[in-house]
A = this chain, B = another copy of it.
Amino acid sequence: MTARPITLADVAREAGTSASTASRALSGRGYVAPHVKKRLLATADRLGYVPNLSARTLKQRTSRVVGVVVSDLGNQFYAALAAGIEQTLREANYQMLLLGDNSDVAQELSGVRMFLSMRAPGVIMTPASNTAADLLVARGLPVVEVDRRLATSSCDAVVIDNEQGGRAAVEHLIQLGHTRIALLMARTTWTTDAGRLQGYRAALTGAGMRVDRRLIVKFATHAADTVKRIELLLDEQQPTAIFAANNQLAEQAWHVLRRRKLSIPRDISLVAFDDVPWMGMVQPAITAVAQPTFEMGRRAALLLLRRLEDPTCGRTVEVLEPRLVTRGSTGGKR
């Protein structure tokens, strides 16, 4: 009983016109007599006509479905980013096709291949590597990078000032009297981590303190030994404060501290980069570098839309400002 879907030709025949006329009437462009158009619209509606997007895309050689790939759909940071993108695209009558790549280069590449296959007009991504973005650019597809920049080829981007954010976080700790400040960061080539590290160093040297490499720990994503290495850090280096460079690491660190029954901030202070809801709910609440996440998504979408309008327009890299939200997890040195 899987009835054949209604085609444009069906609608045209039923309304007594040619397919071209029906096409013009339903797609809204091209001349067509008002009363004919009205009749066409009515019969299309009556028959339950749904245009075949594949045929349209094939003909026009482009679609209105823009590809979006983020690192982790379950992470609220990326979810908010996607929400900002989606809303903006929808307002411009584009569709978002959302994919998660789990920070995996192979998955990212396969997703990007699919976008190519679907003749997406452009792609917005939080890149996991440079290869996927470069591939797209080489194919002539507009790409906007969000959150971080990895492409070697030039493309539009929306990022946060990571160095400033990192510096603000660490300066805050220094002002409170801390000298043994640990940095938990992801082991990546991402500009986010590089910037936050730079901010960390800048804050320390700016205060005339030296950088102790043993206090900087880098973690592979989803590594099984993350917790163990945080515990090792606590045991061997006895930091009085921790700066976690992303919300995941902050969460892991927080769990470790709590399991050890360390009092925050009396025994140890904690600052996170990226402010997600739980940080305002736990006791004490976590001091964090907040990012305008939704806005970043919105801007990225706007950048893409602009380039779709005018492919030759100059390249833009927007750098937004983070904001330090001081809460209870940071306090004077014990």
Residues in chain A within 8 A of chain B (CB atoms): 1-3, 5, 48, 50-55, 57-58, 63, 73-74, 76, 79-80, 82-83, 86, 95-100, 113-114, 116-119, 139-140, 251, 254, 277-278, 281-283, 311
Q: How far is the CB of A284 from chain B (nearest CB, A)?
A: 10
Listed by A's residue number, 21 A-B pairs whose Cβ atoms lie within 8 Å are: A1-B140, A2-B140, A2-B311, A5-B119, A50-B117, A52-B119, A53-B119, A54-B57, A54-B118, A54-B119, A55-B58, A73-B82, A74-B79, A74-B80, A83-B100, A97-B97, A98-B99, A251-B277, A278-B278, A278-B282, A281-B282
With A1-B140, A50-B113, A86-B100 given, is the CB distance from A76 to B76 under 8 Å? yes
CB-defined contacts of A3 to chain B, threshold 8 Å: 139-140
CB-defined contacts of A96 to chain B, threshold 8 Å: 99
Q: How far is the CA of A79 from the CA of B83 in the complex (A)?
A: 12
Q: How far is the CA of A63 from the CA of B53 in the complex (A)?
A: 11
Structural contact, B63 and A73, CB atoms closer than 8 A:
no
Q: How far is the CA of A118 from the CA of B114 in the complex (A)?
A: 14
CB-defined contacts of A116 to chain B, threshold 8 Å: 5, 50
State which of B51, B99, B140, B282 has its C-beta within 8 Å of the C-beta of A283. Answer: B282
CB-defined contacts of A97 to chain B, threshold 8 Å: 97-98
Residue of B nearest to A5 (CB): B139
CB-defined contacts of A53 to chain B, threshold 8 Å: 54, 114, 117-119
Q: How far is the CA of A107 from the CA of B119 in the complex (A)?
A: 24
Q: How far is the CA of A190 from the CA of B54 in the complex (A)?
A: 34
CB-defined contacts of A251 to chain B, threshold 8 Å: 277
Q: How far is the CA of A5 from the CA of B116 in the complex (A)?
A: 9
Q: How far is the CB of A85 from chain B (nearest CB, A)?
A: 11
CB-defined contacts of A5 to chain B, threshold 8 Å: 116, 119, 139
CB-defined contacts of A58 to chain B, threshold 8 Å: 52, 54-55, 58
Q: How far is the CB of A141 from chain B (nearest CB, A)?
A: 9
Q: How far is the CA of A119 from the CA of B58 in the complex (A)?
A: 14
Residue of B nearest to A95 (CB): B114
Q: How far is the CA of A281 from the CA of B277 in the complex (A)?
A: 12
Q: How far is the CB of A113 from chain B (nearest CB, A)?
A: 6
CB-defined contacts of A54 to chain B, threshold 8 Å: 53-55, 57-58, 63, 118-119
Could you say which of A3, A117, A139 has the most chain B C-beta atoms within 10 Å of its C-beta?
A117
With A73-B82, A79-B74, A100-B86 given, is the CB distance from A117 to B2 under 8 Å? no
State which of B83, B282, B283 has its C-beta within 8 Å of the C-beta of A74. Answer: B83
The 7 closest A-B pairs by CB, nearest first: A2-B140, A54-B57, A53-B117, A54-B58, A54-B54, A278-B278, A283-B283
Q: How far is the CB of A311 from chain B (nearest CB, A)?
A: 7
CB-defined contacts of A82 to chain B, threshold 8 Å: 73
Structural contact, B74 and A117, CB atoms closer than 8 A:
no
State which of B1, B100, B113, B278 has its C-beta within 8 Å of the C-beta of A281. Answer: B278
State which of B57, B73, B113, B117 has its C-beta within 8 Å of the C-beta of A79. Answer: B73
CB-defined contacts of A118 to chain B, threshold 8 Å: 53-54
Q: How far is the CA of A90 from the CA of B281 in the complex (A)?
A: 36
CB-defined contacts of A2 to chain B, threshold 8 Å: 140, 311
Q: How far is the CA of A83 from the CA of B75 in the complex (A)?
A: 11
